C-alpha cells in the first residue's frame, strides 16, 4: 500500500540522491528549480517514480512540477486513481 508517507519519503530520497541538489533536508515547499533540479533531473526523478509506483506520467505533467509538494500531490492522486493518469 502506498501511503502518503511512503510517497513523500520516496520523493525526498530521490531529490537528495540527485548529484545536482546540494541540500540536506527536503521540505514540501521547496521550489525544484531553487534546489537545482532542472528539467533533466525532474525527468530522471519521474522515471524512477514511475517504476517505483507502477504509474506513467506525461511529459507535460512532469514539466509542470514546480515544488516538491506538486510531485507528492500528483503521486498521491495517481496511485489512488490510476485511470486518471
Q: Where are the domains of the chain?
A: 4-84
What fold, for 4-84? 1.10.1200
Contact 15, 21 (CB under 8 A): yes
Distance CA 24, CA 59 (A): 28
β-strand partners of 58: none
Mean pLDDT value of segment 4-13 = 92
Q: Which residue has the higher pLDDT, 78 or 85?
A: 78
Contact 72, 8 (CB under 8 A): yes
Instruction: State whether residue 31 is helix, strand or coil.
Output: strand
User: Distance of CA 50 to CAs 20, 23, 34, Å?
Assistant: 20, 24, 23
pLDDT of residue 37 exceeding 80: yes
pLDDT of residue 2 exceeding 70: no
The band of 58, judged by pLDDT with boundaries at 50, 70 and 90, is very high
Polymer length of the chain: 85
Amino acid at each position: 500500500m502506498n501511503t502518503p508517507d511512503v510517497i513523500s519519503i520516496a520523493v525526498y530520497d530521490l531529490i537528495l540522491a540527485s548529484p545536482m541538489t546540494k541540500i540536506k533536508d527536503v521540505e514540501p515547499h521547496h521550489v525544484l528549480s531553487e534546489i537545482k533540479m532542472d528539467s533533466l533531473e525532474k525527468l530522471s526523478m519521474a522515471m524512477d517514480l514511475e517504476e517505483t509506483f507502477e504509474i506513467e506520467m506525461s511529459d507535460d505533467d512532469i514539466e509542470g512540477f514546480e515544488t516538491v509538494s506538486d510531485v507528492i500531490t500528483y503521486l498521491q492522486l495517481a496511485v489512488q486513481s490510476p485511470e486518471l493518469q
